[in-house]
Amino acid sequence: MLFQNKFVHYFSIIISIVFICTLFYMIYKSIFIVDRQFLDIDDKTYVNQVKIDDFTYSLAKRLTLHCKGNELCEVQSMLDFTTNIPYKVNESIARSARKVVSQNYGDCDDKSNLLISLLHVKGYEAYFVLVPKHIFVIVHLKLNQSLNKKALYIDGKPFYKLETTATNSKIGFPLRYKFDQIEAIVDPFKNKKIKYKSLEYKY
């Protein structure tokens, strides 16, 4: 009887410890998710759904296999795939890359999340640009030849606009926003706004 009482006592302690550890883990995970996905921009909250997983990895690899490492080919191929997904307004928060592809529709949030996830798989430096009622992607390219397109220079470093909502759009889509309309340039994988000293839009 004494042995049984001790066993029950120790067993209840173990169960309590496991419960407390599980509770702390869930709280930590919730905070981590909020920290990595939710970003306050002025009086609004932006939610990103970028992800590097088996799905985005295999999709990016398949889309760029024929490019043999040519960065223009790789980026344009991933952009073509994204722009040819039908545009449809998503009234909820942005969806994951897998859902956008499987459901075959998306708005600027959804499709930008898909594209930047693919770009990140291939090692490209790319950011979100948030402007009023819209979001697009910019990517840094180390070009050996002239693209003959204007780039957004962030502290002297060229980034080309990728517009996911315009079917068959090309790298270097025209920037039709003034600098004071740019609400934030965001690294969604760090979930932080990019700090910069200068912006230029030029060839």
How confident is the model at residue 197, as a pLDDT? 96
Number of Cβ within a 10 Å radius of residue 139: 23
How confident is the model at residue 27, as a pLDDT? 43
Q: What is the value of pTM for the model shown?
A: 0.80
How much is the average pLDDT of 25-44? Answer: 49
Are the C-beta atoms of 163 and 172 separated by less than 8 Å? Answer: no
Q: Percent helix, strand and coil across the chain, each rounded to 5?
A: 45, 20, 35
How much is the average pLDDT of 150-160? Answer: 96
Q: In residues, how long is the chain?
A: 203
Mean pLDDT, rounded, of the chain: 85
How confident is the model at residue 32, as a pLDDT? 35
Identity (one letter) of the amino acid at 4? Q
The pair of structure tokens assigned to 177 is: 């926003």
Q: Which helix (H) or strand (E) holds 90?
A: none
Question: How many whole angstroms separate alpha carbon 124 and alpha carbon 178?
Answer: 25
Write out pLDDT tens, residues 71-105: 999 999 999 999 999 999 988 888 899 999 999 99
